[in-house]
Amino acid sequence: MNSQRNLVGLRFLMLGTAALSIGILFGVIGSLQFLFPKFLEQLSFTSTRPLHVSLVVSWIFLAAIGGIYYYLPNKCGLPLWSERAPRWHFWIFVVTGLAILASYLAGKFGGREYFEYPAALSIPIVASWVLFGVNYFKSALRQAGQWPVYLWMWGTGIFFFLFTFLEAHLWLLPFFRENMVREITVQWKSYGSMTGSWNMLCYGTAIFVAGKISGNSEIGRSRLAFCMYFLGLAGLMFGWAHHTYLVPSEPWIRHLAYIVSMSELLILGKILWDWRASLDCYQKNLHCNAYRFFVATDFWIFANVILAIAISVPAFNLITHGTHVTVAHAMGATIGINTMILLGSVFYVIREELPMDVRAACSRQVSYGFWMTNIALAVFLASLVLAGMVKGLYSGGAFQQMMMEIRPYLAVFAISGVFLMLGLWILLFNAFRLLWSILRKPVDHATGPVAAERVTAQAG
């Protein structure tokens, strides 16, 4: 009997791994189209870019949502208020997602940047977040006493996603649509805050899983973690300013916004750094897959902060803004930080649900995938930064000539992108396979081998 476990979250994790696997393929096609504009002409860059971005961002949401649906009932002792709502949520996501992909493939665009599908498809997205939000708060409010920081982060992320998603649709009202500055300001403001909302979901997940691996629940209640939460909240509400370069604003507002989001990242980096130092050898090996993704997250946090500080220096910003350096910043954060955290979370869930001994937990394939992904990512980001700098410094006239100058960097970008894709595919394939085997044959945690292993581990 396995009635105690609620595995609905695993469906979201599986869907997330599938979305990312397909999404990166469109990224690779897009990078080849930089080099050979006629490559796969039927599927132009106008379609491959939104296909890539929508699928990889779906991965971020699906993996974060799946984690929350899994952790609340199974790890936080907070049974879901509704067990049926996540199933609805899942199917709404699948059907709407397929409709969005079909509209991109058919070249039918209707919305604004990042939400380029016909706007009516946003209605089911809103409905699914309302379902998720109500279920989350009804379940989390069962927690007696003070909430640990991750419950605040998840709740804040859900609320602000819904808020900013609705805000991103204000262009539907003539008051906003008929004034370009007003429309662009609101649009980019909402995007800036929306990234803050998914960061809340991811950082909450990182703190939760780190606490579970170390067995130290204080990580989620520490002053440092709450300090990070409030900085993140301030960044989310006011820190969108560095996403609104397109519209006139006072420079100090942008600089303050930058300082807030960078300090938030630095605190997360410090929490993970301290957490790493606190683990003993057994804990590291027991969760060896999840552990290494968090170590990688820490590395990429520092690399991203350095890049972000560099591109916020006015003289440097003048050269790099709107070039591939900005894309490196976006992908550096979504791959290096969000994706690494979420892969750590997925492998933590797998480890918790699958009975395996400590040695088997560190699979060789995951190890290959991990190193291939991280090494390729370093080359990938460096080539984007160099392409952006050469573009920014280019003083000649013809666009064509400038493109010839950055071509070698774009070639390295595309080749490293292929390796990045292969590395991620190894990881995602393994995760998908293991999640599938768990869903097909859930282990009885009360009497099965997991329980036996726990007893042995405790005795040891």
Q: Report the interface residues with ligand HEM, using CB under 6 A.
A: 20, 24, 27-28, 30-31, 49, 52-53, 56, 326-327, 330-331, 334-335, 339, 414, 417, 420-421
In the complex, the smallest distance separating the C-beta of residue 290 from ligand HEM, rounded to whole angstroms, is 17
**Residue (331 or 434) nearer to ligand HEM, CB:** 331
**Residue (412 or 451) nearer to ligand HEM, CB:** 412
Q: Is 153 exposed, middle or buried (0-12, 13-18, 19+ CB in 10 A)?
A: buried
Distance in angstroms between the alpha carbons of the first and the last residue of the chain? 28
CA 138 from chain center: how many Å? 25
In the complex, the smallest distance separating the C-beta of residue 57 from ligand HEM, rounded to whole angstroms, is 6
In the complex, the smallest distance separating the C-beta of residue 27 from ligand HEM, rounded to whole angstroms, is 3
**Residue (28 or 168) nearer to ligand HEM, CB:** 28
Q: Are 63 and 13 in contact (CB under 8 A)?
A: yes
**Residue (8 or 333) nearer to ligand HEM, CB:** 333
Distance in angstroms (rounded) separating the CA atoms of residues 393 and 390: 5
Distance in angstroms (rounded) separating the CA atoms of residues 185 and 243: 10
In the complex, the smallest distance separating the C-beta of residue 398 from ligand HEM, rounded to whole angstroms, is 20
**Residue (343 or 438) nearer to ligand HEM, CB:** 343
**Residue (143 or 312) nearer to ligand HEM, CB:** 312
With tokens 């080099």, the residue in question is 35
What length does the chain have? 460
CA distances from 99 to 94, 111, 255, 284 (A): 9, 14, 40, 42
**Residue (31 or 74) nearer to ligand HEM, CB:** 31
Amino acid at 440: R
In the complex, the smallest distance separating the C-beta of residue 1 from ligand HEM, rounded to whole angstroms, is 38
Q: Which of 271, 264, 329, 275 is nearest to 300 (CA)?
A: 329
Q: Which of 195, 153, 162, 210 is nearest to 304 (CA)?
A: 195
CA distances from 74 to 45, 58, 201, 377 (A): 43, 24, 18, 34
3-state secondary structure of 115: strand
In the complex, the smallest distance separating the C-beta of residue 184 from ligand HEM, rounded to whole angstroms, is 15
Distance in angstroms (rounded) separating the CA atoms of residues 198 and 60: 8
Distance in angstroms (rounded) separating the CA atoms of residues 424 and 429: 8
In the complex, the smallest distance separating the C-beta of residue 45 from ligand HEM, rounded to whole angstroms, is 8
Residues 6+ apart with CB under 8 A from 352: 74, 75, 450
In the complex, the smallest distance separating the C-beta of residue 8 from ligand HEM, rounded to whole angstroms, is 24
**Residue (31 or 128) nearer to ligand HEM, CB:** 31
CB-nearest residue to ligand HEM: 417
What is the number of other CB atoms lying within 10 angstroms of the CB of residue 113? 12
In the complex, the smallest distance separating the C-beta of residue 34 from ligand HEM, rounded to whole angstroms, is 6
**Residue (31 or 135) nearer to ligand HEM, CB:** 31
